[in-house]
Amino acid sequence: MGKKKKFFDEYDELFVRAEGGDKNSLKPKKKVAESKPKIKPALKPNKKAKSTKNRKKVSNKFKTIGIGIVCLVIFLGYYGLKKIDSPLLGSDTSFESKSIKPLKIAGIKATEEIDYSLPLAVTEEENGFTFNRGYQLEIKGDWDNEDPEGDKAVLPSKEDYVYSKEVANLKFYDGRDFSRSAQIEISGNITKSFSSWLSDRRDFTKVYPQEKIDGIMTGYIIECEYYENSSYGNIYRYFVFPDGTGIQIRTSVGYDVKLDLTPDSTFSEFKKVLAIDYKFLSEDFVFSKIANESTDVSNIAE
pLDDT digit string, tens, across residues 82-135? 444 433 334 455 678 899 999 999 999 999 999 999 999 999 999 999 999 999
Q: Are residues 71 and 127 in the same domain?
A: no
Q: Are residues 77 and 189 in the same domain?
A: no
Q: Are residues 204 and 253 in the same domain?
A: yes
How many structural domains comprise the chain? 2
Any domain includes 73: yes
Any domain includes 22: no
Q: Are residues 136 and 62 in the same domain?
A: no
Helix (H/G/I), strand (E/B), else coil: 180:
strand
Provide the β-strand partners of residue 289.
135
pLDDT at position 46 is: 55
Q: Are residues 55 and 169 in the same domain?
A: no
Neighbours of 107 (CB within 10 A): 9
pLDDT at position 92 is: 53
Q: With beta carbons less than 8 A apart as the criterion, state whether 220 and 236 touch.
A: yes
Q: Are residues 103 and 76 in the same domain?
A: no
Q: Are residues 64 and 136 in the same domain?
A: no
Q: Are residues 116 and 174 in the same domain?
A: yes
- Tens of pLDDT, residue by residue over 206-263, are 999 999 999 999 999 999 988 877 888 999 999 999 999 999 999 998 777 788 899 9
Domain carrying residue 184: 98-289
Q: For the CA atoms of 267, 269, 274, 275, what is the dihedral angle to 10 degrees?
A: 90
Any domain includes 252: yes
Q: Are residues 77 and 102 in the same domain?
A: no
- Tens of pLDDT, residue by residue over 36-89, are 555 555 555 555 555 555 555 555 655 666 676 766 656 555 444 444 443 333
Any domain includes 24: no
Range of lowest pLDDT (4-18, 134-148, 270-284): 4-18
CA distance 202 to 83: 14
pLDDT at position 7 is: 54
Any domain includes 298: no
Helix (H/G/I), strand (E/B), else coil: 52:
helix
Q: Are residues 163 and 213 in the same domain?
A: yes
The phi-psi region of residue 214 (left if phi > 0; otherwise alpha if psi is between -120 and 50; otherwise beta) is left
151 or 4, which is more confident? 151
**pTM of structure:** 0.67
- Tens of pLDDT, residue by residue over 184-211, are 999 999 999 999 999 888 899 999 999 9
pLDDT at position 126 is: 92
Q: With beta carbons less than 8 A apart as the criterion, state whether 169 and 124 touch.
A: no
Any domain includes 1: no
Q: Of 218, 210, 205, 201, which is closest to residue 261 (Cα–Cα)?
A: 205
Cβ neighbors of 167 (< 8 A, separation 6 or more) are 122, 129, 148, 152, 184, 185, 186
Any domain includes 52: yes
Q: Are residues 54 and 195 in the same domain?
A: no
pLDDT at position 297 is: 46
Task: Name the DSSP letter for residue 25.
Answer: G
**Mean of the per-residue pLDDT values for the chain?**
79
Average pLDDT over residues 151-159: 94
CA distance 6 to 173: 151
Q: Are residues 159 and 257 in the same domain?
A: yes
Q: Of 148, 153, 145, 123, which is closest to residue 136 (Cα–Cα)?
A: 123
Any domain includes 70: yes
* pLDDT of 159 higher than 80: yes
CA distance 253 to 199: 19
